[in-house]
Amino acid sequence: MQIDILTLFPRMLEGFLSESMLGRAQERGLVQIAVHDLRQWGMGKWQITDDRPFGGGAGMLLRPEPLAAAIDDLKRGAGCKTIYLSPDGEPFKQAMAVELSKEPHLILVSGHYEGIDERIRLSRIDMEISIGDYVLTNGTLPAAVLTDAVTRQIPGVLGAEKSLTQDSFHNTLLGFPQYTRPFDFEGMRVPEVLLSGNHKEIEEWRVARALEKTRDRRPDLLSEQESEQ
């Protein structure tokens, strides 16, 4: 899989992409991640990428010419999906990460200022995604979040494949409680069922606790599950 990230702030991603799971996945050739500075396609001597919005208003807008040139240069064939990270995009969820991990090539467009020219959204963007109902300085961090969530779904990336099925939001449930040594910490003991060695009972306990936590903290996830059935 190839992931190209288009941003005005490539240095924000340097350490993030080289560490932990993402670093190992690239070293093993399971994913290729490239970060591109939009200024490479900037206009004129000063590599201009933005301008004032027509109609007035605060802030600046990314111009269509550099974005179009960058996306067209990076796009390779019909199997490429171009995604714009935007607060008004479709909410990013686990199922979406799973589906995107099956794509051969993603181009992630990180906006800045007041966003990007609408004509790019209409002519070059295949999908718009939001990682939450809040505003960040630019779309580079959302691009990093999406890259992490998608990459971990690629077969072979995680050392223990079972951890995928134990993640929060698998089957729309939050994660179950986890314990390690010591058995007794400040009077709080590990539930006996986890020490029983009975895998069926342990699995039932985990499902029950995950359901209980989801019902308490995120009942909306259960409502979504019921509406899909």
Catalytic residues: 87, 114, 152, 167
Q: Which residues pair with 34 in a beta bridge?
A: 4
Those residues with Cβ within 8 angstroms of residue 103's Cβ, 6 or more apart along the chain or in another chain: 1, 79, 81
C-alpha atoms less than 13 angstroms from C-alpha of 89 in its C-beta half-sphere: 27
Phi, psi of 136 (to 5 degrees): -110, 165
CB 29 within 8 A of CB 154: no
Alpha helices in 61-186 (DSSP H): 64-74, 94-100, 118-123, 140-151, 162-166
Q: Is 169 helix (H, G, I), strand (E, B) or coil?
A: coil
CB 150 within 8 A of CB 101: yes
CA 196/CA 126 separation, integer angstroms: 50
Q: For CA atoms 178, 182, 187, 193, give the dihedral sign.
A: positive
